[in-house]
Structure 1
């Protein structure tokens, strides 16, 4: 009886909860202790991480302000009066705000800025399309096709990247003159369309594509051109958009070559035309800034629209800048 009662009594140092003994000194499991320690360490490091993130955002903000300040000042100056734009003490905010500079630039008969703008837009668009038409098949052949001399050909293409473009001014001018393209838009569209950069850029992107896709297309009965058009090109859309944008910017901002081959005021592009406009209005800073804004806004808008494609194309092509 005593043994039975002692066996049924609760053990010393414990409490009963719904008839079950519960120890008063329960030790935490090793996993729980590790998680608790990691939580305490993470909580202790959280202020440090927030401080680093804040400093990083501050540095990026300062760098962005340094890059944007010339553009913002150019924009502000274009809305100033002639006297305020040429003042010795520059001001960021125009007072009074006026559109006279844009009216004079766009309405000038001696300097057809609108015609220059249309010439640049047409030339840059056609140049971008021609670059894609020549670089895409060449890059695909050098990246995905196996033939004798492929490495030598690619080395020769890359070697042309090291040739200074100024050296090619005279040969290109002689060729353009023989074709009777002087003072015409084809003179600034065609010569640089078969550049090495586009081939190199797209080849790096094509090398990242898995070969199983082409093998599956061959099993389905596709030939090489069908694989190129229906399989490779849709996957290469980010790289194609990036190359088109870079080619557009290169042709849009080209200044030296149009001065050599475009002679009449009606055929000038915007950079070359604005250079002549600056010579005629060297003290009209409001007019010069208005022309610079007209030349900059389309490029900035184009980049904002294609930014996602540009980032993806550059990251997948293996190029870093």
Structure 2
């Protein structure tokens, strides 16, 4: 506490020009970081209006010399790939997986946070241990399981395994630890069922954590490439990342169409962040509660 007060005192006594220089360096650093992060997105957008020959022209330019909508026309009319169908496939899979993940994670997290049962600590440690396993470790056994239950080339093979999230369960457990036990006890005294307590008290008080987890799960599902590539077989069933990858041929790569498809795929993500930015920023520290 004393060191904090000393730093504040020195900061107040520091000359005005020194504070101005410090702020200038901070702002310059932020501008440089914004340019480095934003430049690829700007080039993706402008490159989607270029032909392949213009994309590889020298010197490199962000502004198209001869803007064209040919990439978008070819992409959306299905002449190369059924992109609109694949875009809808990704949307369906991401939304379904997000909703199911929220249900599973919230119920498991509520159980670990508010109930006592035999083997609770050991089971929770096993849950945490699974976070250390890379997905590549379980890819082959999971694929063999999908073959045995005949889920290949179906969306069940993506949605169901993706809905079981150890991180999501841990994240919701940490958030639900903050729900006062007095509220739970009062609800039981009033005759509320366990499900009613979870639905009327647990979920409303954890809506911030639910919103953050929903965005994380949606992003992961929306951009997932490896697992859909393994289990999906037909072009009409592909999600958009797998569909865009088919534009990379042995002798020709449709860079303009890939950039156009990638830009269209960023629109739902931008919409989510713009619409829910306040809630996301207010709940970024969720999960830091000690258990």
TM-score by length of 2: 0.89
Q: Unpaired runs of 5+ in structure 1?
A: 1-40
Change (3 A) 1:48 1:79: same
Shift of 1:42: 4.9
Which residue, 105, 108, 113 being the options, matches 1:143? 113
Number of equivalenced pairs: 280
Which residue, 237, 241, 246 being the options, matches 1:267? 237
Native 8 Å contact 2:52 2:254 kept in 1: yes
Which residue is equivalent to 1:60? 30
| Partner SS for 1:278 | coil
Which residue is equivalent to 1:28? none
Which residue is equivalent to 2:207? 237
Which residue is equivalent to 2:175? 205
Which residue is equivalent to 1:188? 158
Which residue, 219, 236, 249 being the options, matches 1:279? 249
Q: Which has the higher contact order (CA 8 A, sep 6+)?
A: 2
Which residue is equivalent to 2:4? none
Native 8 Å contact 2:74 2:80 kept in 1: no
Which residue, 190, 215, 222 being the options, matches 1:252? 222
Tell me the distance in 2 between the aligned counterparts of 1:46 and 1:150. 57
Tell me the distance in 1 between the aligned counterparts of 2:87 and 2:52. 24
Report the RMSD for the aligned CA atoms in angstroms: 2.1
Segment of structure 1 superposing worse, 279-288 or 308-317? 279-288
Change (3 A) 1:176 1:158: same
Tell me the distance in 2 between the aligned counterparts of 1:259 and 1:293. 21
Change (3 A) 1:288 1:226: same
Change (3 A) 1:279 1:307: farther
Native 8 Å contact 2:247 2:253 kept in 1: no
Change (3 A) 1:219 1:70: same
> Which protein is bigger by CA-based radius of gyration?
1
TM-score by length of 1: 0.81
Tell me the distance in 2 between the aligned counterparts of 1:310 and 1:84. 39
Counterparts in 2 of 1:302-313, with a 5 A limit?
Answer: 302-313=272-283
Shift of 1:45: 4.0
Tell me the distance in 2 between the aligned counterparts of 1:239 and 1:257. 26
Tell me the distance in 1 between the aligned counterparts of 2:264 and 2:251. 16
